[in-house]
Structure 1
Amino acid sequence: MPLVRSILFTVAFYLVTAAIMIVGLPALASRRGVIWIAQTWGRVVLRLLHAIVGLKVEFRGLEHRPAGAVLVAAKHQSALETLALVTVLDDFTYILKRELMWLPLFGWYLARSEMVAIDRSKGSRALALMNEEAAAAMADGRRLIIFPEGTRRAVGAPPAYKFGVAHMYDRLGVPCLPVALNTGVFWGRRSLTYRPGTAVIEFLPVIPPGLPRDAFLAELQRRVETASDALVREAGGSGAVHPAAHARQS
């Protein structure tokens, strides 16, 4: 039965996504319009997920979201948080790989919404270009979302935070909003089935600007990993808690 529900959701997800992208084409006239379409898409998908699979998303710590520009640094365990975060963060901007801009139709929306795209072919220059685009987004007061580990990590996997988030924090001079979660317990990064229950995405108290980069990265990792481990245990996940989660790995 879980597999059947998962297949039904997957089919519904792609049909709804295609329909929203086609109907929403007029929204490409403005960035605000595209953001509205993205948030509508996210809310519809979350409702489908709850109705078909029995998986709902609970947000905690919403009161920790500061006004104005902020760097949102989230744990990344599945695709679920990618679409869920946009429903509770106004005027958001994702940091993503440039190749996503080449996708038919979907890439048009990404380009019009002015996401920060990383061109990995530029090597070390890519970080400088990313920081420049991120600074422009901060000047507009946006919520800049980054996954510090760069890719999805399985529940229980040792943390693998990249130093790029510390460079960005230092360069931007804005608060950092850490985000913990347990989505991987329900929506595995390589799984074809989704587990019913309640996935939690928790916003933690902000880290103020001005910390040295090493101290910031260690604090970010400690907060996110400690809270995520607790959420995984709460959900009955089997991932092991790694001691290295509470200190930056060298």
Structure 2
Amino acid sequence: MARHLMALFRSLLFNLLFYPGTLIHCVAVVAVSPIGEGPVQAVVHSWSRMHYWLVRRIVGIRFEWDGAIPPGPHLIAVKHESMVEAIDTLRFADTPVVVLKRELAYIPLFGWVTRRYGVIPVDREAGAKAMRELIALGKKAIADGRPVIIFPEGTRVPRGAQPPLRSGFAGLYRVLGLPVVPIALDSARVWPRGFVKHPGVIRFKVGETLPPGLKREEIEARVHEAINALNPPRNGEGDQPKPKA
């Protein structure tokens, strides 16, 4: 009981600090936006560092990495179990462009900030139109020398779930012609859905860099396996290794 109450208190304090801090950073982006992209990116990265500090010092979560992301332009495919990696991806690489749900890019103020920084918003229901937008923005990111981070399962999934990859991943991989760096993680062990977060360790495992030009079935199968390296299914639940058509 005492441990749960402490986790509840830490989670409450985290929210009381994180969300006002986020608002301050959003306002700062608006203020520096006329100056140029550099100051905007600096403020957004400061926000990510603030989040990392709160996760470590307030919630009590440590990160352990097995491997390192190589430098240069890559398509970085990340397992998605909690909010923590959705924000911490900004520290993964040099000024990455993140593929995210379209609705997140149109939240008042916050959504404008994400678009000003540079993201790829995807409307899952828009079909071919969404794919064209994803590809165009992905090409722009590469032209700007920025790596692209994608959560290839398309959404946050519970611990143990291994859904097939969304078709957008294969389309982006084919068009951009970039090597893929898959990243496995186990964040939902300490950061499950809901309000309470728990102290502990989140492990990240960087998989083998996969070359461009592989057939769709092969790249999807290898990325699926790599991002689930730390995430064994729960009694087979959610284990769907076949790529989505």
TM over 0.5: yes
Distance 2:167 2:116 in 1: 29
Within 5 Å, give how 1:119-134 maps onto structure 2: 119-120=123-124, 122-134=126-138
Contact residue 69 and residue 142 of structure 1 kept, 8 A: yes
Matched, 1:41 2:50: no
Distance 1:100 1:244 in 2: 26
Contact residue 27 and residue 33 of structure 1 kept, 8 A: yes
How many matched pairs? 238
**Please, which of 209, 214, 220 is the counterpart of residue 212 of structure 2?**
209
Distance 1:158 1:67 in 2: 28
Distance 2:183 2:222 in 1: 13
Distance 2:53 2:120 in 1: 28
Q: Which amino acid aligns with 1:193?
A: V
Matched, 1:93 2:100: no
The answer for the alignment partner of 2:22 in structure 1 is 17
Matched, 1:240 2:245: no
Matched, 1:61 2:64: no
The answer for the alignment partner of 1:228 in structure 2 is 230
The answer for the alignment partner of 2:150 in structure 1 is 146
Contact residue 221 and residue 246 of structure 1 kept, 8 A: no
Q: Which amino acid aligns with 2:231?
A: D
**Please, which of 59, 64, 75 is the counterpart of residue 71 of structure 1?**
75
Deviates more, 1:142-151 or 1:194-203: 194-203
- Deviations along 1:9-40, one digit per CA (max 9) or x if unpaired, are 11111121112222343332322322222221
The answer for the alignment partner of 2:10 in structure 1 is 5
Q: Note the C-alpha offset of 1:245.
A: 5.0
Distance 1:132 1:22 in 2: 29
Q: Note the C-alpha offset of 1:6.
A: 0.9
Q: Note the C-alpha offset of 1:142.
A: 1.1
**Please, which of 198, 203, 206 is the counterpart of residue 200 of structure 1?**
203
Distance 1:40 1:205 in 2: 30
- Deviations along 1:183-208, one digit per CA (max 9) or x if unpaired, are 111111x2210110111222222111
Deviates more, 1:42-51 or 1:118-127: 118-127
Q: Note the C-alpha offset of 1:218.
A: 0.6
Distance 1:17 1:179 in 2: 26
**Secondary structure in structure 2 of the residue aligned to 1:229:** coil
Gaps of 5+ in 2: 1-5
Say what the alpha-carbon RMSD is for the aligned residues.
2.1
Q: Which amino acid aligns with 1:53?
A: V
The answer for the alignment partner of 1:163 in structure 2 is 167
Cα 1:118–1:247 shift into 2, 3 Å: closer
**Secondary structure in structure 2 of the residue aligned to 1:45:** helix
The answer for the alignment partner of 2:110 in structure 1 is 106
Deviates more, 1:155-164 or 1:7-16: 155-164
Distance 2:132 2:147 in 1: 19
User: Normalising by structure 2, what TM-score?
Assistant: 0.88
Distance 2:239 2:226 in 1: 9
Distance 1:26 1:171 in 2: 36
